[in-house]
Structure 1
Amino acid sequence: MRAIERIKKYFSSNYEVLAAIIIFTIVLVAKLEFYKTIILMLEFIVLMEVAKMISDFIKKEKLRLRFVIDIFIIFLIRDVIIYTSNTNKDYFTILFLLFVIFVFFIFRILAIKYSPGIVKLHQGNKEEHE
């Protein structure tokens, strides 16, 4: 009985594991191809990010570069999965996509590091110390 309580407690704080188990069970029962399921989930995430970006733009009248970069990274990861699961692999295309993902990750890090909101925060801290 104590073990069941521990399991309930674990899943209540780690709902992602429960969601993954449910999705995996559906994939097995429906006999879907796993890579196609992953591709569909990545496409869903891209759509969620686009909706989030549009919503944020409407509310704040600002377009966050981070959201745009995230969308491209997720979409490129989807393409890498498609190309690697293909029987006739085009390794040049796969390597090129991985390079582009790497470049976008660098842009994402720079976008976060040099964000205007963060620069204002750092300038405010400098003024307080003077």
Structure 2
Amino acid sequence: MKLIENIKKYFSSNYEVLAAVIIFIIVIVAKLEFYKTIILMLEFIVLMEVAKMISDFIKKEKLRLRFVIDIFIIFLIRDVIIYTSHTNKDYFTIIFLLFVIFIFFIFRILAIKYSPGIVKPQKENNKED
């Protein structure tokens, strides 16, 4: 009984593991090709990110660059998976896409680091006159 309680406690705080197990079982039972499943999940994530970006834009009337970059990164990862799953691989295209993903990661880091929403407190000079 304690083992079952520990398993329930683990899955109650780690939903992503439970979701991954369920998806994996569905892929095996339905005899789906794994790379196609990954591609569909990445497309779903792109759609979620687009919906989040639009919702955020409507609520705050601001477009966060990070969301746009995330969408492009996920979409490019999807393309890399598609190109690597072909029997006749176009290595130049794959390497080019990986290079573009790397550039987008740099842009993402810079977008977070130099975000205008983050205000750094200024030090006050306490000089006595």
TM-score class, shorter-chain normalisation, is over 0.9
Give the unaligned 5+ runs of structure 1: none
TM-score for both structures, normalised by structure 2: 0.95
Decide which structure has greater helix share. Answer: 1
SS in 2 for 1:88: coil
**CA deviation digits over 1:43-87, x for unaligned, max 9?**
000000000000001111110000000000000000000000110
Residue 79 of structure 1 corresponds to: 79
Residue 41 of structure 1 corresponds to: 41
Residue 108 of structure 1 corresponds to: 108
Q: Write the letter of the residue equivalent to 1:108.
A: R
Counterpart mapping for 1:22-37 below 5 A = 22-37=22-37
Residue 4 of structure 2 corresponds to: 4
Counterpart mapping for 1:111-130 below 5 A = 111-118=111-118, 121-122=119-120, 125-127=121-123, 129-130=124-125
**CA deviation digits over 1:3-26, x for unaligned, max 9?**
111111000000110110000111
Query: Across the two proteins, how many residue pairs are aligned to each other?
Result: 125
Give the unaligned 5+ runs of structure 2: none
Q: Write the letter of the residue equivalent to 1:68.
A: V
Counterpart mapping for 1:89-108 below 5 A = 89-108=89-108
The structure with the larger Rg is 2
Residue 21 of structure 1 corresponds to: 21
| Structural RMSD (CA) | 0.8
Q: Write the letter of the residue equivalent to 2:122.
A: K
Q: Write the letter of the residue equivalent to 2:29.
A: V
SS in 2 for 1:28: helix
CA distance in 1, matches of 2:15, 2:71: 24
CA distance in 2, matches of 1:55, 1:3: 42
Q: Write the letter of the residue equivalent to 1:57.
A: F
TM-score for both structures, normalised by structure 1: 0.94
CA distance in 1, matches of 2:57, 2:11: 35
Q: Write the letter of the residue equivalent to 2:102.
A: F
